Structure 1
Amino acid sequence: MELSIGEMALIAIAIVVLFGPDKLPQIARDLGSGVRKMRGAVEDIKTEILKETDNPVSDIKREIEKVKDAAKDYNPMNDFNKDLIADPSHTIASNTEPAVVVKPSEDEHYEGPVSR
């Protein structure tokens, strides 16, 4: 809510007319005290809301950190290397025949990249 200077002047004149110039300092003090109390209440509510919503988030963050730590320690190549060292006769290509590599220039069915 934004007030222009003219609106603030009109409100000030109305307050002076209604309450008189001698009560104006007391009204300003009371108004300032009320605004401070409202700000404090809003801050208290904000911190309570953050506390309540922070608990599930912090639990999730802790679980994510646990998974990250477990992932750092896990290396699938270690298991592969251990298996390979334990049985050196077992290789990946031992059960299959070597693949024949045909160059694209020698392949009759190779059409090359298609431009559209």
Structure 2
Amino acid sequence: MFDSIGWGEIVVLALAALFIFGPERLPTLAKDAASGLKRVRAALAGVRAQVDESLGDEFAGLRDLDLRKYHPKTFIRSQLFEDDYDAPPVRRSTTGATAAGLVKASHEPDRPRDRAVPPPFDVDAT
């Protein structure tokens, strides 16, 4: 729920509310906010049930629709980094190579790299 707000900001907001409203009115305001949130959730559940009832079975697949995959960042990442073919699964090692972002594909054998041959280098990547 609070993806963009950290714990520090929540503490600052709580202290500001304590100073603004005072310790006498703060508990009643918290109860009112909680009951208002419950009413909003109940209203949204009612609207969802009413929409499901009115649309019927022909739109039953929309209930299972995951809208997170249409987030712009996720959508662009999936379009750029997912291929049209089934790529072999990537095996992640438990060594420090994963921390550096170096991951070997599962089809590569486990063998040490030949130090006489320089690693692959892409001029356009730098």
Question: What's the TM-score, normalizing by structure 2?
Answer: 0.42
In terms of fraction of residues, the more helix-rich structure is 1
Q: Which has the higher contact order (CA 8 A, sep 6+)?
A: 2
The TM-score normalised by the length of structure 1 is 0.46
